[in-house]
Structure 1
């Protein structure tokens, strides 16, 4: 039985299994080392990094919802230089791919940040968060406009050198395949989808929003049908590999994303429920594959019968 995943094309990315951790849900990776062996995972995607440290949004930032969670953390992080000097050396980069997720407010800044990370041998790939506002274009989100998404992709690709570039798509669009095709045309090596859905919650007794930012990102099992649909559509629309995510809470969920065409998955909100979840999921996937007589994930991938 093989759980190995090799992404096709010019990525050079190989995972010992398809279980990666999603940015913003697994810290910098080192925080979860007490709960399992990091090297058993397929890969780690660290929390979003910016050029300078960010304090994030005011509290409260997280609220539980039916079958999910709202968050508006605001991309709090210690800055890329602190990550490189203090966090990256503590990760087992020789034994599993460590992927840096990045955030910026204009294409030039994305390029500058990418150049800093691309110089680090321990970084396997760059994942680009385009669900953020372009301050030069009146605040429209990069991920909601195909031209702007392409500009960011081009800037990152130019600065990334040989490092693979993963573009993380937002579901908060009319047609996600339009954005997917735009970033593929601009040189993206891989697409990951989806980021959180825009949502909000209120307290009827306090007459207050549940989170200080009022509107936040909805994640968890509640969004899985949307995430699965988006992943299926993107896999059909592009020829580059796709990493699926959104509400994965079981080994069955992992196989659903692979069945519709994803090469690998990222696990997010479930890590908040159980910090050892991703480690357990690796073993549970192997057990499920054995039960279903799946000997090779690549043969199973994209085999949905319509």
Structure 2
């Protein structure tokens, strides 16, 4: 029999397939479509210390084989998440991941202190946020800056810590090594790629913020390259995401070195895509005589 279980970062995942932050809310809407306990884990909507209303104007824009978004981290804030959303997420009988962002060190620290006192299983630290005290450059662009914030968070964080990397980083392998050296238990990548959409009729950018994040199948080849580069550079587990739409895509990421994966844009295109992916993964392993994903991980 095939074994889809994954032991990583001190946790047991029933399978390697997680929902990606920002594409699954907190799971409630999807729980009305299928049994979300089929997931290996659920990543929360991106959280900030305080509630955010998000960006104005158009927020989603379809592109060929992709989706652009400019949500602006709209979320209820950490305290509301803990009181209103987390109890329901824990009832889904899967690993619960809190995705936490911040615009300065203090935002991260306060959020971590609050999440420490909950039964969240894993914290995914989003270092793609602009650092307001450093002129707006994201924490995740320069390895030295990433090392500094991750090491500070690691010092106070009582939970397993997975750091989500930006594809806009200057050097992905160096960034992965810096996060590992700073004490991260795992890394996830890629986040969305900065992109531009133009409204030629009105002669302006589609989004109020000009640039937006591109995701979906069109970014998968880039994501695979970056996941492979990161997995070759570190010993900690890598969680791969970027354009996963099928079990075959999952296999590609695992062969590139991923231990876990996340499904994002696919949830918008086909809301019940995850059960299909998990089923297809098991069927592929049966068909190919693969007993454990360890047999094919990182073979590329």
- 3-state DSSP of counterpart to 1:104: coil
Matched, 1:88 2:89: no
- 3-state DSSP of counterpart to 1:49: coil
Distance 2:27 2:149 in 1: 26
> Structure 2 length normalisation: TM-score?
0.97
CA contact (8 A) 1:112 1:159 kept: no
- 3-state DSSP of counterpart to 1:69: strand
In structure 1, what is the equivalent of residue 250 of structure 2?
Answer: 254
In structure 2, what is the equivalent of residue 76 of structure 1?
Answer: 74
> Structure 1 length normalisation: TM-score?
0.95
In the TM superposition, what whole-angstrom CA distance separates every residue of 1:32-69 from its partner, at most 9, and x where no partner exists?
11111111110000111111100000021110001101
In structure 2, what is the equivalent of residue 129 of structure 1?
Answer: 126
Of 235, 240, 249, 1:239 maps to 235
Of 89-98 and 36-45, the range deviating more from structure 2: 89-98
Shift of residue 83, structure 1, vs aligned partner: 0.8
In structure 2, what is the equivalent of residue 227 of structure 1?
Answer: 223
Of 267, 287, 293, 2:289 maps to 293
In structure 1, what is the equivalent of residue 149 of structure 2?
Answer: 152
- 3-state DSSP of counterpart to 1:112: helix
Shift of residue 93, structure 1, vs aligned partner: 4.9
- 3-state DSSP of counterpart to 2:81: helix
Unaligned runs of 5+ in 1: none
Shift of residue 204, structure 1, vs aligned partner: 1.4
Distance 1:71 1:240 in 2: 30
Of 122, 135, 140, 2:137 maps to 140
- 3-state DSSP of counterpart to 2:52: coil
Matched, 1:33 2:31: yes
- 3-state DSSP of counterpart to 2:18: strand
In structure 1, what is the equivalent of residue 201 of structure 2?
Answer: 205
Distance 1:93 1:240 in 2: 29
Q: CA RMSD in A?
A: 1.2
Distance 2:49 2:275 in 1: 31
Distance 1:72 1:155 in 2: 29
In the TM superposition, what whole-angstrom CA distance separates every residue of 1:208-246 from its partner, at most 9, and x where no partner exists?
322222200000000000000000000000111100000
Shift of residue 92, structure 1, vs aligned partner: 3.4
In structure 2, what is the equivalent of residue 170 of structure 1?
Answer: 166
Of 22, 41, 44, 1:43 maps to 41
Shift of residue 157, structure 1, vs aligned partner: 1.1
CA contact (8 A) 2:36 2:92 kept: no
In structure 2, what is the equivalent of residue 188 of structure 1?
Answer: 184
Distance 1:27 1:266 in 2: 14
CA contact (8 A) 2:101 2:125 kept: yes
Distance 1:216 1:275 in 2: 23
CA contact (8 A) 2:216 2:265 kept: yes
Shift of residue 202, structure 1, vs aligned partner: 0.7
Distance 1:284 1:270 in 2: 15
Q: How many residues align?
A: 299
Distance 1:250 1:19 in 2: 11
Shift of residue 119, structure 1, vs aligned partner: 0.9
Q: Give the direction of change, closer, same or farther, for the CA distance of 1:160–1:252 in structure 2 (3 Å limit).
A: same
Structure 1 segments (4+ residues) deviating >4 Å: none
In structure 2, what is the equivalent of residue 5 of structure 1?
Answer: 6
Of 262-271 and 210-219, the range deviating more from structure 2: 210-219
- 3-state DSSP of counterpart to 1:91: helix
